[in-house]
């Protein structure tokens, strides 16, 4: 199962953590895992290329953490994070056996 943690500070979305493998298909053919990975990676890249902020990114096998500092929460960055939240919500609703969504206050 993939666990997606939406990270909040002061009631504001500031990042996300994605870990685990969805287990919805064989290795290399797991469309749910691919969708989660694509969403997480695209939003991390967009924070830098579209919003112009440099998120703190930690990546390991089966894990990606993306986090912004409080002073980096420009409007464009918040829109990208909310887009990630919406996509993560949609995936968790569509694939509840494979994606678990958690809201975490830091």
pLDDT band, very low/low/confident/very high, at 95 (cuts 50, 70, 90): very high
Number of domains, the chain: 1
Q: At which residue do the structure tokens 């998120």 appear?
A: 55
Print the domain residue range for 96: 2-105
The pLDDT tens digits for 59-84 are 998 899 999 987 777 899 999 999 99
Q: Within a 13 Å sphere around the CA of 104, how many CA atoms are in the beta-carbon half?
A: 15
What letter would DSSP give residue 24? S
Domain CATH number, residue 58: 3.30.70.1490
CB distance 64 to 43 below 8 Å: no
Q: What is the mean pLDDT of residues 49-64?
A: 94
What letter would DSSP give residue 22? -
The pLDDT tens digits for 20-49 are 988 888 777 889 999 999 999 999 999 999
Torsion, Cα of 25, 26, 32, 34 (10° steps): -160
Which is nearest to 19 in space by CA: 32, 7, 2? 2
Q: What is the mean pLDDT of residues 77-105?
A: 97
């Amino acid at each position: 199962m993939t666990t997606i943690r939406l990270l909040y500070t002061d009631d504001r979305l500031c990042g996300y953590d994605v870990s685990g493998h969805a287990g919805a298909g064989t290795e290399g053919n797991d469309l749910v895992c691919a969708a989660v990975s694509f969403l997480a990676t695209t939003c991390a890249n967009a924070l830098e290329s579209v919003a112009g902020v440099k998120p703190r990114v930690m990546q390991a096998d089966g894990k990606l953490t993306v986090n912004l500092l409080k002073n980096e929460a420009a409007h464009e960055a918040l829109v990208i994070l909310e887009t990630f939240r919406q996509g993560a919500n949609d995936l968790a609703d569509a694939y509840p056996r494979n994606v678990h969504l958690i809201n975490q206050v830091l």
